[in-house]
Amino acid sequence: TLSGIGVHSGAPVTLTFQPAEAGTGVLFHRQHADGSVTELKAVSSQVGATDLSTVLGFSPAHSVATIEHVMAALYAMGIDNVIVEVDSAEMPIMDGSSRMFIDAIEQVGTKSLGVKRRYIRVV
C-alpha cells in the first residue's frame, strides 16, 4: 500500500496492489466514497484519453488517470496479473518515477502462478 497525491489533481490517494489469478490481467479497481467500485481493465480499448496522462475509462466519475508509472513498475517486475485498488481518480505521483512502486512490490515479493505466459510476436 502506498499513499501520495495526484500530480494533476493534488488530491490524496491510496493505492494497494492485490494478487490476482492467472488470466486476470491488470485491473484497476477505483473505490468510491459510497463503497461502489469501478473496474477498469488495462487494455487499449479502455483508454479514454491521453492528454497529459493515460486515462482508463470514458467518464470522469468512472476512470483512473496517470497510470503510466504504475504500469511501468508492473512491467519491470514481470507482473501481468494484479488488481490495483485506488481510492481516487488519479494514481499517486510519488517521486515522479516508478521506483517507489517497484520498492513496494519488492517488499512483499511476487509469486509465480505456474501458468505458461502467452506472447505476441511483432515482426
pLDDT computed for residue 37 by the predictor: 98
Query: Would you kindly state where each structural domain of the chain is located, as residue ranges?
Result: 2-108
In this prediction the pTM is: 0.93
Type of residue at 91: M
44-58, 70-84, 107-121: the lowest-pLDDT one:
107-121
Tens of pLDDT, residues 32-45:
999 999 999 999 99
- Residue where the block lists cell 508492473: 74
What span, in angstroms and rounded, lies between the C-alpha atoms of 123 and 114? 28
pLDDT confidence tier of residue 120, bands split at 50, 70 and 90: confident
User: CA 109 from chain center: how many Å?
Assistant: 17
pLDDT in tens, 12-24: 999 999 999 999 9
What fold, for 2-108? Answer: Ribosomal Protein S5; domain 2 (3.30.230)
pLDDT score of 65 more than 90: yes
Looking at the predicted structure, is the pLDDT value of residue 117 above 90? no
pLDDT of residue 119: 83
- Asked if residues 111 and 17 have their Cβ atoms less than 8 Å apart, the reply is no
